[in-house]
Amino acid sequence: MKKLFHVCVLMIGLQVQAQVCPVIPMPKEAIYLDAAFAVDKNTPIYVQSPRFKGVAQYIQQEFLRLKGLPLAIKSNLGKMPTIKLEQIKGLPEEAYELAIGNEGIVIKASDEAGAFNGASSLAQLFSLAAPSSSGWAIAAWNIKDQPRYAWRGLMLDESRYFIGKDKLKSLIDWMAFYKLNKLHWHLTDEPAWRIEIKKYPKLSLVGGVGDYNDPKRPAAYYTQSEISEIVDYAARRNIAIIPEIDMPGHATAANMAYPQYSGGGNAQHPEFTFDPGNPDTYAYLSNILREVNALFPSGMLHLGGDEVSFGTDKWQSNEGIKKLQQEHGLQDLKAVEHYFMERMADSVYQLDAKLMAWDEMADINLPKDETIIFWWRHDKPEQLQTTLDKGYQTVLCPRLPYYFDFVQDSGHHAGRKWGGLYNSLQDVYVFSVDKWVRASQQTQILGIQANLWTETVTNTNRLDYLLFPRLAALAEAAWSSESEKDYKVFEERLKPHLRLYRDQNIYFYNPFNPNEIPEPVYFKRDRKDLNAMQN
Ligand code: ACM
């Protein structure tokens, strides 16, 4: 039953030929009409509602990016066959209908996000279009579609490896291509601090020096105007960006810049924590969060809160902390950590922003409607259960299978494993929320997310290699219901996407030939780093 809408069986002579919809993630319904629409540079995009103008511009930019085809947007409907964007009533959030026929293309949606999703499917079908006499023949699929989850996320660690604006925008293009709609931006950690803060300029000037593999690398960070440019670029692709300012642990780079707020660390993790015993620490961090909040209209701030105990050694002998414990009856350092996070969470709520945090923070009692917890410790399913039992909205990003710094094939050596386990393309695809979450708590699951930590990334080829094609599998796992997923069919649909990666200079992992070393791809400043290529 489930393939009825995805596969159209054509009779060609006596042979039966199956047409499987190549769009990833798989649309809910897709019917092939055995026809095509020929698009060329004279095909106008017609926008009925001004609200969809931005989506029309996205179509322009994608057609140019994918095949160098420059289209124009027209505000009156002439006689030419068009790509038409139409706002209609009654479709759910993010849902769309896309109809491609001999006469033209129509995308219908009730909201901008839905129109965008229709445009993204169109961009994919266009990317796979065959050349025709005057332009490109886009296969005539009729699609009705909507996502399972509202949160389809990717986390990117730019503290350990600074990707830079151009590559980041390119990655945002690919996220949009697969309808991933949340970019969780890990901007601060041990190796470096990557966001300009006007009130504390040393955070980026001093804290921005180095990365995981080269502690002396000259300072690299995003200025506030670059942040606004990227946030805007992503918003026009239906992607909200959530900044993460990790605390009270993973604060090393910040503490290099402003040591007066450091709570110390140990030999393995020097200056790892902020100092909860210094009353000024709270105002300092709140001032930082005010600036960060002003830059990110998503209204979501991620405060980390993970792995604090990695570096609390010096808290034992900290006089300020002892005083704090006495004043507030805090029995142990865990209670101090929780006190710190509750106070910082308050700073977030006072900005009318939502608080996001890693799953350690499910142990404290925060306002449920204003807090989202990210379950990452796959080996602690009880922490997921605590999170859900306390009523938090939850994003699932368990290490297995959603840490993309893990290797993806048994023959690969650079990258993490967990007791021999790794994150194959298939595991990313088949992950089932339903296996982890009981039916009565399903509504608390906002969606799923992959996290790319960048200890093993030294150039953008390596970055691509870890992301592609797992990004496509993630997208389908987040978009489609269990009953609509089929790994074997996904593998077939992926093949043309791999050809597209090759055309678009993406350095990808080939699941059909796991030990293939692709030709190096040049992305600007990486030329000199190519020797560092590794699987
Ligand atoms: C994490 O991996 N420390 C969230």
Q: Which of 23-32, 363-372, 482-491, 510-519 has the lowest mean pLDDT?
A: 510-519
416 alpha carbon – ligand 1 mean position (Å): 13
Residue 129: is it exposed, middle or buried by C-beta count within 10 angstroms (0-12/13-18/19+)?
A: buried
- Distance from residue 526's CA to the centre of ligand 1 (Å): 27
Q: Which residue has the least CA distance to atom 3 on ligand 1? A: 306
pLDDT of 418: 96
- Answer yes or no: is pLDDT of 49 > 90: no
The whole-number average pLDDT for the span 318-324 is: 98
How many beta carbons lie within 10 A of that of residue 170, not counting itself?
A: 18
Cβ of residue 376 lying under 6 Å from some atom of ligand 1: yes
Distance of CA 87 to the CA centre of its chain: 27
Nearest Cα residue to atom 2 of ligand 1: 376
What backbone torsions phi and psi does residue 239 show, to the nearest 5 degrees? -120, 125
111 touches ligand 1 (CB under 6 Å): no
Give the pLDDT confidence score for residue 11 in this predicted structure: 42
Check whether 528 has a pLDDT greater than 50: no
Written as one string, the DSSP assignment of 213-240 is: S-TTSPP--B-HHHHHHHHHHHHTTT-E
State the pLDDT at residue 133: 86
pTM of the model: 0.94
358 lines ligand 1 (CB under 6 A): yes
70 Cα–ligand 1 center, Å: 43
Q: Is 464 in the pocket of ligand 1 (CB under 6 A)?
A: no
Whether the Cβ atoms of residue 431 and residue 137 lie closer than 8 Å to each other: no
Q: In angstroms, how far is the first alpha carbon of the chain from the final one? A: 40
**85: part of which helix (H) or strand (E)?**
strand 83-87
Residue 306 CB less than 6 A away from ligand 1: yes
With 60 as the cut, is the pLDDT of residue 153 above it? yes
Q: What is the 3-state secondary structure (H, E, C) of 139-208?
A: EEEEEEECCCCCEEEEEEECCCCCCCHHHHHHHHHHHHHCCCCEEEEECECCCCECECCCCCCHHHHCCC
Residue 229 in contact with ligand 1 by CB distance below 6 A: no
- Give yes or no for residue 307 CB within 6 A of ligand 1: yes
pLDDT tens digits for range 241-278? 999 999 999 999 999 999 999 999 999 999 999 999 99
Q: Is the Cβ atom of 375 under 6 angstroms away from ligand 1?
A: no
Band the pLDDT of 389: cuts 50, 70, 90. very high
Ligand 1 centre distance from Cα of residue 99 (Å): 43
> Rounded to whole angstroms, how far apart are CA atoms 59 and 120?
8
Mutate to test the pocket of ligand 1, among 310, 358, 361, 373 (most ligand atoms within 8 A of CB): 358
Q: Is 455 in the pocket of ligand 1 (CB under 6 A)?
A: no
Residue 270 burial class via C-beta count within 10 angstroms: exposed 0-12, middle 13-18, buried 19 and up:
middle
| Domain spans of the chain, in order of start | 2-145, 161-481
Say if residue 364's pLDDT is above 90: yes
pLDDT of residue 48: 82
Closest CA to 109 of 90, 133, 81, 137: 90
- Per-residue pLDDT tens digits for 56-107: 999 999 999 999 999 999 987 777 779 999 999 999 999 999 999 988 999 9
In whole angstroms, give the CA distance from residue 81 to residue 387: 52
Of all atoms in ligand 1, which is nearest to the CA of residue 453? 2
* Mutate-to-test residue for ligand 1 from 306, 310, 397, 416, highest number of ligand atoms within 8 A of CB: 306
Q: Residue 438: CB partners within 8 Å, gap ≥ 6?
A: none
Residue nearest to atom 1 of ligand 1 (CA): 306
**Residue range 161-481, CATH number:** 3.20.20.80
- State the closest ligand 1 atom to the C-alpha of 358, by its place in the atom list counted from 1: 4
Biggest alpha carbon distance in the chain? 86
pLDDT over 90, % of the chain: 88
- State which ligand 1 atom lies nearest to the alpha carbon of 306: 3
Does residue 15 surpass a pLDDT of 50? no
pLDDT band at 18 (very low <50, low <70, confident <90, very high): low
Give the atom of ligand 1 at the shortest distance from the alpha carbon of 304: 4
Fold of the domain built from segment(s) 2-145: Chitobiase; domain 2 (3.30.379)
